[in-house]
Structure 1
Amino acid sequence: MSARYTVLTGGVGGAKLVDGLYRILPPHSLTAIVNTGDDFRHYGLPVSPDIDTLLYTLSGRSNQTLGWGREGETWNFMAALTSLGGENWFNLGDGDLALHVLRGHALASGETLTSIIASFAAAWNLALTILPMTDDAVATFVDTDEGLLPFQRYFVERRCEPKLLSVQFDGAQAAAAAPGVVEAIMTSDAVLVAPSNPWLSVDPLLAIPTIRAALVATPAPVVAVSPLVGGTAVKGPTAKLMAELGLAITNDTIAEHYGSWLDALLIHGDDDAPAGAAHARTDTLMHTADDRICVARAALALAEGCSG
């Protein structure tokens, strides 16, 4: 039986690691389990930012200039919306709208998010399994010094400027893992955690009891890629968030946050190693396709070393 691999992911950094894995692993041997705590409805349309980022990245459609959205995007819809006085803090590109409209139509027809994403991946000939963490409603909220904010209001509209006090995941405790999620974790030869924001992009998955239990119980080695490079985050609010929570911005903190189910941490260059976890080093910056492949190979090698 051929080897199988699973990666927990969210955000742009996570999509880059999945892309690196996808480029080197045999077709249909990889499962990506994606954060949906960021999902929300905007003007009635169901938006799944982390899933769509992954779809665009793997299909070669991601916008290389903006770092999010579709390449070659146009903005006629947003211009028309703004001219009518509509809120324009969250951009919906003309091409991007196709995913949201089709997703909304399918959800209204009784389809699950799992089946919808599978159809999108098949339409773009993607030879891997992409699973939402759940088909149930889970919403990330951020408690800040300006009050409780829905995730997208905090992340996009306010650009993470309010001081973060805590994060909560409404609906997570009652949510079931999407079909195939627990099986993928339990039957993989290695489980990887992408260099996504641990508190905002990975914790929503961990807040679902059956997913956390599977990570504890899986016989596979579990390896995370640290989101820290040189004591800060490459992109996004990870370092800012850690400081606001009173946490040291170190790989020790990352390893301790994930806890006993983590077998090893892949860290950048000569960054400080975590005292309480096995580790390996590589250049974890992923500017190019070759960089992504390099990090993917290093993560797989670390996992193989753990299993050995």
Structure 2
Amino acid sequence: MRDLRNDGVPLHGLRVVLLAGGAGGSTFAVGLRDVVVAGGGSLTVVCNTADDLWVHGLRIQPDVDSMLYGLAGVKDPVRGWGRAGDSDRVSQELREWNLGWDWFALGDLDLGTHIARSSWLREGAGVGGVVHRLQERWELGARLLPMTESEVDTLVMLDEGTIHFQEWWTRHRAQREPRAFANPGIESARPAPGVLEALAEADVVVLAPSNPVVSIGPIVGVPGIADAIRGGTAPVVGVSPIIGGSPVRGMADVCLRVVGAECSAAGVAQLYGARDGGGLLDAWLLGEEDAAEAPRIEGLGIRPVVTPLWMSDVALTRALAADALAAALTLG
């Protein structure tokens, strides 16, 4: 692990807030947690909850659970989501009853999480309270917060109708061309308890290498969150989810096309915008493959930092996290 203290960068007691969603976000969070905790700091992760949906009467939170399982060390390393070593006997039995979706199988251990969550929600615990209870089971080394208490799902607008994001991604593998994405109710949503406070107290804010449209977009779309980031004193650094002109994982290229953004490191930086110009970023990490885009990013008013982005193993992920913190702390 790179030691920022050897570079003259103060790390002890650092308060870091990460905005994240998806498999890439949870992988990066583990490396960031390791670096921050090793320096005696604290990490708060604000999770995307716009992927959430109801299935079998249960509230499913894919991004929250990926973050929970990843930080707990129980995430399936092959699929990148769900519990390691899980089985699917319950889902198979439900299919025998012609119940649910055969394209959205839930593991048995995973179902335990969803049952607990839904029970607590029905008891009135609230989304934030439920996330707090879930993370008490494991020693995560980080605090998880949902972006909002409100049910703000992501819908995909197609020529033939509107479907939930999970159906578009999981069932159709993003092969049906969207006209737009929507988050009904987000205009009246409020940041979950603790989110604005964490941003106000942060020493560093990091945007994970998550999908900028359907993972990070809904988080900063909750009224008050983007303003808190722009108006805060903490430097803001983002990590590109695009390497060599292609998304590392998922369908960010399709999502970017829908919102009129270029699928490139510079294109995503432009989508987020420079904080000095009313956007979100002070610095932007881009891969060595995209070094030629650095002058363009600098022209946007964002400091470009060229560094290896592939999170192929734990050591590389920690090194990337350390680079993100160094970039933030050496701004100015």
Q: How many residues align?
A: 307
Q: What is the CA–CA distance in structure 1 between the aligned matches of 2:153 and 2:145, rounded to whole Å?
A: 17
Equivalences for residues 1-308 of structure 1 within 5 A: 2-26=13-37, 29-86=42-99, 87-259=101-273, 260-271=279-290, 272-273=293-294, 274=297, 275-276=299-300, 277-306=302-331, 308=332
In structure 2, relative to structure 1, the CA distance for the partners of 1:178 and 1:246 (3 Å cut) is closer
SS at match of 1:170: coil
271-280 or 50-59: bigger deviation: 271-280
Residue 135 of structure 1 aligns with an amino acid whose one-letter code is E
Deviation at 1:98, TM superposition (A): 0.9
In structure 2, relative to structure 1, the CA distance for the partners of 1:224 and 1:81 (3 Å cut) is same
Q: Deviations over 1:177-219 (max 9, x none)?
A: 0011011111111000001000010111111111111111111
SS at match of 1:192: strand
Deviation at 1:245, TM superposition (A): 4.4
SS at match of 1:198: coil
217-226 or 60-69: bigger deviation: 60-69
Q: Is the 8 A contact 1:34 1:133 kept in 2?
A: yes
Q: CA RMSD in A?
A: 1.4
Q: Is the 8 A contact 2:206 2:236 kept in 1?
A: yes
SS at match of 2:59: strand
Q: Is the 8 A contact 2:14 2:36 kept in 1?
A: no
Deviation at 1:281, TM superposition (A): 1.4
Q: What is the CA–CA distance in structure 2 between the aligned matches of 1:178 and 1:243, rounded to whole Å?
A: 30
Q: What is the CA–CA distance in structure 1 between the aligned matches of 2:228 and 2:124, rounded to whole Å?
A: 28
SS at match of 1:256: helix
Residue 20 of structure 1 aligns with an amino acid whose one-letter code is G
Q: Deviations over 1:269-289 (max 9, x none)?
A: 130222312110111111211
Deviation at 1:253, TM superposition (A): 1.7
Residue 269 of structure 1 aligns with an amino acid whose one-letter code is E
Residue 286 of structure 2 aligns with an amino acid whose one-letter code is I
